[in-house]
Chains A and B, each alone.
Chain A
Amino acid sequence: MPTAIKESSPPHWLARILAVAVLAALALYIASSAKPSTLGNITEACTLAVAAVALNLLLGFNGQISIGHSTFAGLAAFTAGYSVNFWRWNPYVSLAVGLVLCFVLGLALGLPALRLKGPYLALVTLAVAFVWPTIAAKFLDKKVKASTLKGTKLQPPTWTGLTNSRPDRAVFLYWLAVVILVLAYVIVRNLRKSRIGRALVAVRDNETAAAVMGVNLKFTKTVTFGISAAIAGASGWLTAARLDRLDENSFTILNSIKYLLALFLGGAATLAGPIVGAFVYYFVDDYLKTHAPTWHWLPGPISKGPVASFLLGTIVIIFVFIAPFGLVGFIKDQVRRVFVVTPRPLKQAVASPELIEHTSDATAAESSAQD
């Protein structure tokens, strides 16, 4: 028998606070002790995680698939790179403008999504992801290619005490990525737990039932698409901040597929899933890239070419069989064997006759007020 913990009881709160404290301590510890190259890796993993969180809002909670999220990341990255380099914009202003552009493009892409479902919607977004590099190439040909936020364009503010040296810059970018990831997580979490969030899941589970409950399907679906696109844009901006150079191949359909893999590896429609998935995906991929090419003991033709992507693909496929609800779903199942959180008891309504009469009066008054 698992131990029962009451929802919102002191032990439940303690567990929550402890989890946040451990994560915060870990983030601080990494910032103070990790090498710049490790910090760079974590920054990159956070960047992937932000995009996966964005996709989770759209696909996990609202049931709309997008293979075009790389386009939003690309749009925000190029907006930042271009406006900061050629119009001398403040990099944070370029972030805000990029998010707005992504939101608008997301709304526009959400419109066909009203009529299309599943594979058809996937195809439309896939087409967008395909077209994007061509547009980006045209856009970049006009001016110099290296239009990112490197060097002096995005510097640590003085209050941080960081300089623009390579190690300090790595710490700064790391914190930027962590803060943006936490913000993205908090936004999606609060949305999910709100009235709007229930509507999102309702639309995913049963559109007809959601509509007859009063959910405006068009509005809900397009705005969700817009918000998800904007969050993906934040991921793109982080990429522009980190890389020395962007080109037409920086945001291809492969990026979109990475977001999807990270999401499903971690667990779609769970809050932590996309983040866990992104980190595991990134570091397994990174490990395989550096270690696997020398694995000549692998059988037959497999050992000849670079085996990293082959292995990663195999791992993901096996994993989806073992844990169809992702790492987070898997871990939750394991934890449930030890602890279960039981709901708060209902407050008993006082059933005095007077009160009942009073409430029915109130409802009558309310309904006549509606007339």
Chain B
Amino acid sequence: MNALLEVRSLRAGYGAVQVLHGFDMRVNEGEVAVILGANGAGKTTTMRAISGMIQRKGSIVFDGEPITRTPPHEIVRMGIAQVPQGRGTFTDLSVADNLRAGAYVHKGIHIESDMREWYDVFPRLSERREQKAGSLSGGEQQMLAIARALMSKPRLLLCDEPSLGLAPIITQELFAILQRLNTENGLTILVVEQNANLAVKIAHSVFVLETGSIVASGTADEIANDDAVRKAYLGY
């Protein structure tokens, strides 16, 4: 299978503090990959390393191109979009302007028709399109954050704990949408999660991250059958 993202001995951190201690990871084109990890394991740091927000060492190759030294604003143009932890919607902008802002890297004319496409996927955003994003519920804001990321027309979508702070039923809806984006739009998705049942259900491959190292990886089935992992992350 064709690797869209290939990470080799990735090391990254903040200043003198190293958080990621050199691991390998591979996300195939057209797949959903999930990184499981407890609080503080380094999941967000991994996302930030891939999207270029922090200094990193080792090698990150996206679609055959090394991006280890590429600044974030160019990585977006290459086709990686990140939904940051805590959603990061622009609360003072309207829903529509959030989406337009998501298309920042495309100066072109397709923006309004792209917006309509995502309004079809997220009808509740369409109803609220002129409201300030700050007035949306948590679930709606997460949908908005995803739709906004999609506006940059990514080939790889990074989702940092999308279920954080959401009611279970909303989380279900969210993962159903992510799965649809994968199967219907062929989008490659990398999700990080703490509570992982739903995430593993839509995943093709799973990585388990503990204190900055990957301690287990495999297909979703393999991981679900691994007793230690199941106890620690799936809770049964």
Closest chain-A Cβ to B49's Cβ sits at a distance in Å of: 12
Closest chain-A Cβ to B117's Cβ sits at a distance in Å of: 7
A367 at the interface (CB under 8 A from B): yes
**A residues less than 8 Å from B53 (CB atoms):** 208, 211-212
**B residues less than 8 Å from A342 (CB atoms):** 130
Closest chain-A Cβ to B157's Cβ sits at a distance in Å of: 11
Cross-chain contact B104 with A198 (CB below 8 angstroms): yes
A269 at the interface (CB under 8 A from B): yes
Cross-chain contact B120 with A209 (CB below 8 angstroms): no
Also in contact, A213 and B76, with CB within 8 A (given A202-B101, A208-B53, A346-B126): yes
Closest B-chain residue to A362, C-beta based?
B110
B77 at the interface (CB under 8 A from A): yes
Cross-chain contact A201 with B84 (CB below 8 angstroms): no
Cross-chain contact B90 with A371 (CB below 8 angstroms): no
Cross-chain contact A212 with B76 (CB below 8 angstroms): yes
B173 at the interface (CB under 8 A from A): no
**A residues less than 8 Å from B145 (CB atoms):** 209
Closest chain-A Cβ to B52's Cβ sits at a distance in Å of: 8
Also in contact, A205 and B116, with CB within 8 A (given A212-B76, A215-B104): no
Closest chain-A Cβ to B151's Cβ sits at a distance in Å of: 8
> Per-residue 0/1 for B57-89: is the Cβ within 8 Å of any A Cβ (1 yes, 0 no)?
000000100000001110011010110100011
Cross-chain contact B91 with A199 (CB below 8 angstroms): no
How far, in whole Å, are A208 and B82 apart by their CA atoms in the complex? 10
**A residues less than 8 Å from B148 (CB atoms):** 213
How far, in whole Å, are A222 and B116 apart by their CA atoms in the complex? 34
How far, in whole Å, are A339 and B88 apart by their CA atoms in the complex? 31
Some 25 contacts from A to B, beta carbons below 8 A apart, are: A198-B93, A198-B97, A199-B104, A201-B90, A201-B93, A202-B93, A204-B92, A205-B89, A205-B90, A206-B89, A206-B90, A211-B73, A212-B76, A213-B102, A213-B149, A213-B152, A214-B73, A214-B77, A214-B105, A343-B96, A346-B119, A346-B129, A349-B113, A349-B120, A371-B63
**B residues less than 8 Å from A198 (CB atoms):** 90, 93, 97, 100-101, 104
Which B residues between 161 and 195 are near A, CB-CB below 8 angstroms?
A: none
A165 at the interface (CB under 8 A from B): no
**B residues less than 8 Å from A347 (CB atoms):** 116
B51 at the interface (CB under 8 A from A): yes
Closest chain-B Cβ to A176's Cβ sits at a distance in Å of: 34
Closest B-chain residue to A348, C-beta based?
B116
Which B residues between 20 and 63 are near A, CB-CB below 8 angstroms?
A: 51, 53, 63
Which A residues between 329 and 343 are near B, CB-CB below 8 angstroms?
A: 342-343
**A residues less than 8 Å from B107 (CB atoms):** 195
